[in-house]
Structure formats: C-alpha cells, structure tokens
Chain A
Amino acid sequence: MAGTDDKAPGKEPASAATATEAAAAKPPASEPVDPAAAEAALAAFERELAGGDAAGADAATAAAKAVPADVAVPADKAVPSAAAKVTAVAPKPAPAALPPVVTFRNVTKRYGDFTAIKDVTFQIADRPGKGEFVPILGPSGCGKSTIIRLIAGLAPQFPATSGEVIVGGRPVLGPGADRGMVFQDYTSFDNRTVLDNIAFGLECQGVSRAERHDRARYWIAKVGLSVARDEGKYPHELSGGMRQRVAIARTLILEPKIILMDEPFGALDPPTRSRMQDNLVELWREQSPTIFFITHSIEEAVFLGDHILVFSNSPGTILEERHVPPADRPSIEMHRDPTFQATVHELRDTIERLEASNRAGD
C-alpha cells in the first residue's frame, strides 16, 4: 500500500515502522522483550525527528520523492544505526514498507490560553491481521478526547495547532469512513430502525437496499442482538447497552482500519460493561482493526489493551506507554489473574501520583 502510492509522507515514518514492526515480530510471545525492542525503535524514531529539524526533514522528504518506496529502506542513510540494527534482526524484511497506522509528531492543540495537549508524539504500528488495541488512560481533562478527535478529523479539536497527525501515511484532512467512531452518548439515529441505523454507512456508499440489509442483519447477530426481535426496533426502545451494540455494529460494518471509541461503555452498568468488553475483544480478533479506546477504568484498559497510552494532566502529554498482554480470556477470569491485578495496581499508583502532583501544583 505504501509502496504504491504517495511516497512523500509515507516514506519518513516507514523506517520507524520498520523498526517497530520488526520489534513486534521478533519475539512473538515473550512479553518482557517486546517493550524494550519497541522502545529502541521509538528512540530511533525520535532521534530521527530530532536529527532533522523542519528544513532537514523537508530535504529528506524531497530526496525520498525521487526514490521508489521499495528501495526506501536502504536509501535511508540518515536514519541512525539503531533502527537499521533492529531491521537487520527482523527475520522477514518484506512487509517492512507498511507505514504506521497512526503517527503523532509533536502535536499540540491550544484554545486561546488553554493547552489541551502539548507536544504529543507516538506511533502505532500497522500489524496486518492483528491490529492493535490502544487504550488511552488518564485523568479527566487531559486531552484524551482531543487525541482521538484529531485522528477522526473532527472539529474543533481538528486541526492541531502544531505538529502532524498522520494516518496510514497521509496527514488527516477531515472525517472519513476509514476511521469509525463510537461515542459515549448514544448516537443512534432516532428516526431509523436498528437495521437502518447499522446500514447507514452502506446506504451512504450507495449499496442496494437488499444487500445492505443483509449485511446489517449479519452484524446485528454479530454484536449480540437478535435479528428477529431487534431489527425493527427504534433506538428509544433499546437499553443503553443495546444502543452501544448498534453503534459498534454500525461502525464495524464498514470495516474501518481504525476504530475510535470515546468512553463507549462509560454509561453502562458493570455487568453489561463486562459483557460488552468480551464482545468487543471477540470482534477485534476477527476484524483486527486498530482500536483507540478512551477509558477512565484502568481495569478496562489493562483487560482490553495491548498498547496503553497513559496521559498526564493539563496540558496533556504522554506520561507512559505500556505494552500488556492482550485479552485472552473472558473479562471475569482475567480480572482474577494476579499478574493482571499487579499491572492494574501499578498503573493506578502511577496515575494517582500524577494527579496528586497536579493538585499540589494548582
């Protein structure tokens, strides 16, 4: 994909992607090694950013334009050796050209005097057939929503005041169906039945009525609703959990590469929430999109996630990136695991410390 189109923006992060990709690929199961390798890759990426300032980066980009993307890796002499080393370790160099799914490069968003997020830099590697589940944790008002609305391209958070938000190798220009969004508040269209709510995106694409209804029915069942009972219902006849199932189905039916979820289960009661989490993990496995998932619940983040971003408070910056094992059991079982509990407590302490220091700072 990156090899064929739009080399200019795709090229620069490609080298970093190579590193992260390789890091992710090298130790497939052993957890402790993975973060270290990823860190090395990230360090390489950061050095690359630091090494070339605006002018330098431009020059590099211009140079890259002349070079076909499939030879981009060897041509990339400017990249520090760390990245090259990691690349060398990688067993299969072929898919290395995949750009990261999402790259934030020194992104800052200000509203007047208020800085929502400041100098946020991270990247989420493309893992075809797997996807990455990225919970975003942090205290209230730390700009978590700003992050995913920047990815979605939704105003007023979009566009960023400075920095770059790159999705699939291209800067974000506005909202699109390749980045589905599920909000906390229920956003089912009141005038549409469950079936027509889920088929909305396909309807916009001009898919015929019969086909989009067939596909919507498949998704009604997929998210745990009953086709026979629920397809003709209007949103006002559904519970909160059912509405969120509709919202998830409505997004997944379009098979977006990225799904942005802004506290989607925040308003649900605990048992419903736990069931929805299990359902979401199942769906994620099948479709393997990259999911960004804002939550206040550390348990939820640790259960669902494999790459957690922890944000600090005003202005929001990334405090910690942490890789955890992805969910491999139902929510209730996972919660009983001592390692799981340990991770949760550790993260809680981190955030607690952070909030305390912030309060003191007031």
Chain B
Amino acid sequence: MTTGPATPIKATPSPPAPPPPRSAPSGGPPAEAPPPRPPAWWKTLRADAPTLYRLAIGGGFVGLILAVWWLITRGSPTEAFISPSKLPSPGAVFGSLGGLLDRDLEGALFATMWRVVKGVALAAIIGIALGVSAGSYKAIAAAVNPIVLFLRSVPMGALLPLTLVWFSTGERQKSMFIFLAVVPFVFSDTAKAVASVPQRYLETAETLGASRGQIIRKVLVPLALPDIITSLRFQFGLALGYIMLAEAINTDAGIGVLLNNGERRGLVEHNYLLLFIIALLAFGIDWLIRYVQRGVFPYRRDL
C-alpha cells in the first residue's frame, strides 16, 4: 500500500525518456525501452522493507553493537577502555551462564514467574469481573471509577512499603503487590472494551430476544474479549518490571535476588546476562500470548 502512491510520483518524470525509442520503427527491440522503475524501498517514505533486508539490517546493527562492546572491553582489566567491574566483555557475560545456573537460575525464574502469574491471574479475575459489570452498568462504573483513577495515579513504588505493612514479606506480599499494580488497568481496559462494543450489536441481540444476561454473556464479553486479552498481555509485561522491585526487599529466591546479589558480590556479568534473559522471557511470553490470540480470534486482524 505504501509503495502504491509512491510509484506514480517517480513514474511521471520518466515517460519523456521512453517515447523516442518506442517511436522508432519495429526494428528497435523492447530491450531499448526500460520500463520506469519504482524507487527503491529505502528511499520511499514509510515503505516496508523486504523481510530479508529487515532481518539483515537488524542483525547487522546488533552485530555492530556487539563489536563495539567487544572492542571497548578487550584486553586485561588494566588495558580495557572500560573497567570489567563496570562492563565485562561479551565473552565474560555470556560465559557466566554456568555460574548463574550454579546460583539456581531455574529456581529463580520459576519463583519470579509464579509470583507474577498469581498476581496477574488474581487481577484478571477481579479486574475482568468488575470491568464487565462497569462496562455494562454505568452505575457500577460511577462507583468504582474514582478508586481506580486513584490507584492508576499512585506510583507503584510508593505502594511497596505499604504492601510490606499489610502482607509482611512473604510470597503473598509479592503477588498482592503485582495484583494492586495491575488490577486498575485490567479493570479500566475491560470496562472500555465492553463499553465500546457498538450499540448496534446490543440492539440486534435485543430484537432477537436476548435477555440482559444473555447479551452480556453472548455478545458483550465475547466481542470485548480480544481487547481484554491484549490488556492482560501488556499488564503481564509491566508486572515483570514490578516484580523486580518487590524482589529487591527481603526475598529469598527470584531474579530480583540474583540481580541484587550480583551487584553486592561483584558478579556484574550475571546482571548483564540476566538482563538478556529477562528480555528474552518477556518477549517470548508476549509472542506466545499473541500467537494464541491470533489463533483464537481469527476475525481480529489487528491483533
């Protein structure tokens, strides 16, 4: 679509060139008249890059950064441009995977993910139930909205000490912190998704004899569901960020603990490696949910 409008722009100036050879007698073979060529994609505003180029450019750029990283960290600790205590070499970082596994990386990953899953699941149950009610009945929305607005505006870090007061330092505190951080957003996204199902669908359902409960169950919720899942997907990503914060305090296992200890014990390479692992994890989960979404909601091409 983006190449479409661009083609005629380039094509307009070129016609003057081809006519002379074409006006020559049939002796002039078609080889002489080069067809006007569309401009290269990289010169065209907003044109899509061919997949191969896209991947090559992306990979090349990552390679460049790795090369720079390698250059500025090579040599002995005294020779290196940046001290390994600040930035270890790529080799040292990726080579420390063994050491990280010795510190129970899998256990930490599992503990962290479990906390996030519990918190987000609870937020999904309560947030979706409340959100559907508020999207369907505006009286409920009027009641809940002020509280949600408040919770959405409070910086989550500021809530952390209070969760310690309320839930002490155990597992419950971690999950509840995630729940509190996520539930206002799940609620308002759900309420919005339900409220934005076009009125026509409700009217159609009513004239087909659907009751209020049936409209909610058979029309509003199914049509809002793809957007609700999208909201959960985003919230899951944010929750991964919040959990690192919660795990910085009084925790015995988890990625946050590994990060803290890495800094304290001078194992900086573990911290760098953990960044990659967390990013990979977040990306993988996001991709997985989106993949499932596309399969389950084939009629939503925008997902």
**Chain A residues within 8 Å of B, Cβ to Cβ:** 152, 154, 174-177, 179-181, 183, 185, 187, 189-192, 200-201, 203-205, 234-236, 247, 250-251, 254, 260
Q: Which of B209, B210, B223 has the most CB of A within 10 A?
A: B209
- Which of B107-115, B181-189, B197-205, B275-283 forms contacts with chain A? B197-205
Q: Is the Cβ of B207 less than 8 Å from the Cβ of A177? A: yes
Other A-B contacts than A191-B225, A201-B209, 6 sampled, CB-CB below 8 A, are: A154-B206, A189-B222, A204-B211, A236-B301, A250-B208, A254-B209
| Closest beta carbon of chain B to A180's beta carbon, Å | 6
Question: Lowest 3 CB-CB distances: which A-B pairs, in order?
Answer: A177-B209, A175-B206, A181-B207
**Chain B residues within 8 Å of A, Cβ to Cβ:** 200-201, 203-211, 214, 218-219, 222-223, 225, 297-301
Nearest chain A residue, comparing its CB with the CB of B214: A204
Q: Is the Cβ of A180 less than 8 Å from the Cβ of B299? A: no
Q: Is the Cβ of A235 less than 8 Å from the Cβ of B299? A: yes
Contact among A154, A190, A203 with B299 in the assembled complex (CB-CB below 8 Å): A190
Known: A201-B208, A204-B211. A191 touches B297 (CB 8 A): yes
Note all chain B residues with C-beta closer than 8 A to A185.
200
Contact among A175, A190, A234, A251 with B223 in the assembled complex (CB-CB below 8 Å): A190
Query: Would you give 17 A-B contacts (Cβ < 8 Å), ordered by A?
Result: A152-B203, A152-B207, A174-B206, A175-B206, A176-B209, A177-B209, A183-B200, A187-B200, A191-B225, A192-B222, A200-B208, A201-B210, A204-B209, A204-B214, A234-B299, A247-B204, A250-B208
Note all chain A residues with C-beta closer than 8 A to B203.
152, 154, 175, 181, 183, 187
| Closest beta carbon of chain B to A285's beta carbon, Å | 23
| Closest beta carbon of chain A to B228's beta carbon, Å | 13
Q: Is the Cβ of B207 less than 8 Å from the Cβ of A203? A: no
Q: Is the Cβ of A154 less than 8 Å from the Cβ of B207? A: yes
Nearest chain B residue, comparing its CB with the CB of A155: B203
C-alpha spacing A251/B208, complex, angstroms: 7
| Closest beta carbon of chain A to B227's beta carbon, Å | 12
C-alpha spacing A179/B219, complex, angstroms: 19
| Closest beta carbon of chain A to B214's beta carbon, Å | 5
C-alpha spacing A234/B211, complex, angstroms: 24
Known: A181-B207, A187-B204. A234 touches B298 (CB 8 A): yes
Contact among B204, B218, B299, B301 with A183 in the assembled complex (CB-CB below 8 Å): B204
| Closest beta carbon of chain B to A205's beta carbon, Å | 7
Q: Which of A179, A183, A200, A203 has the most CB of B within 10 A?
A: A200
Note all chain B residues with C-beta closer than 8 A to A204.
205, 208-211, 214, 218
Note all chain B residues with C-beta closer than 8 A to A180.
207-208
C-alpha spacing A324/B119, complex, angstroms: 68
| Closest beta carbon of chain A to B95's beta carbon, Å | 50
Nearest chain B residue, comparing its CB with the CB of A191: B222
C-alpha spacing A177/B203, complex, angstroms: 11
Q: Is the Cβ of A179 less than 8 Å from the Cβ of B208? A: no
Q: Is the Cβ of A176 less than 8 Å from the Cβ of B223? A: no
Nearest chain B residue, comparing its CB with the CB of A178: B209
C-alpha spacing A154/B301, complex, angstroms: 31
Nearest chain B residue, comparing its CB with the CB of A180: B207
| Closest beta carbon of chain A to B208's beta carbon, Å | 4
